[in-house]
Structure 1
């Protein structure tokens, strides 16, 4: 009788499993990164014009460029307060050395788009003051509507 060695099944390699898991993991990570980037872009596209209006308004107040600040106001406020009166009111305020937008909220209720921005001003004497500005979208442009 001849001796016949027992058939040992070949060792299954886990290499294919690790490659498949690596590809799936890479796809999930890149999908998550792309998704996060898209959400960021949508948020920036939505808040960019609002942020620009508020920066222009607040920056003009800091620079004491009251005609520029006045132009950022909504029609309702400009109809109620003349540019000269606005300038006189602002000239009585303390000197400011800087500003930073610290909060931005937007809402769309039944097609009425509005929002608010919180701006932190730095006064020349060193203190800070927060100011909340109501915002409306008027004729396609965002306006400060105190």
Structure 2
């Protein structure tokens, strides 16, 4: 009788272990990416929100015919160059806005001056025409003001 050695043990495949490690790494990366995106979005909203809110309030004042309120949201430079009566006369002559949509927000800081441009799509009440307009803002004494 001849002795036949047992067959060598089958090599264990590392494929399952590698796939589990890759899956864990992917889950961690995706979770980190989502968390980073949420934090970035919140940061952008906090930075742009106040400027956006002022531009929206300005347009809503104009839509409501509250030209005194809209004039109060203007920066010092514009108020110094235009009286409230002249501003009201010009606004009264403009075509009325029936609705608006904010389509863009941009904030810049240069030295100690912070500016923003809030872009809106405006729909005219009389004609239904849609136009895009940028509202420049300036931060004066810690408050955003429409400045253009």
Q: Mark yes or no: TM-score above 0.5.
A: yes
CA contact (8 A) 1:119 1:132 kept: yes
Distance 1:76 1:99 in 2: 26
2:141 alignment partner in structure 1: 139
The equivalent residue for 2:131 is 129
Identify which range, 118-127 or 12-21, moves more after superposition.
Answer: 12-21
The one-character-per-residue Cα deviations of 1:64-102 (angstroms, maximum 9, x if unpaired) are: 111221111111222232322221221111122112222
Distance 2:63 2:123 in 1: 9
The SS at the match of 2:7 is: coil
- How is 1:1-146 mapped onto 2 (pairs within 5 angstroms)? 1-124=2-125, 125-146=127-148
Most deviating of 112-121 and 44-53: 112-121
Determine if contact 1:134/1:144 at 8 Å carries over to the other structure.
yes
5+ residue gaps, structure 1:
none
Gaps of 5+ in 2: none
Q: Mark the CA change 1:118 to 1:8 in structure 2 (over 3 Å): closer, same or farther.
A: closer
Q: Is the 8 A contact 1:62 1:99 kept in 2?
A: no
TM-score under structure 1 length normalisation: 0.88
Q: Tell me how large the CA RMSD over aligned residues is.
A: 1.7
Distance 1:5 1:118 in 2: 79
Tell me the number of residue pairs that the alignment of Structure 1 and Structure 2 aligns.
146
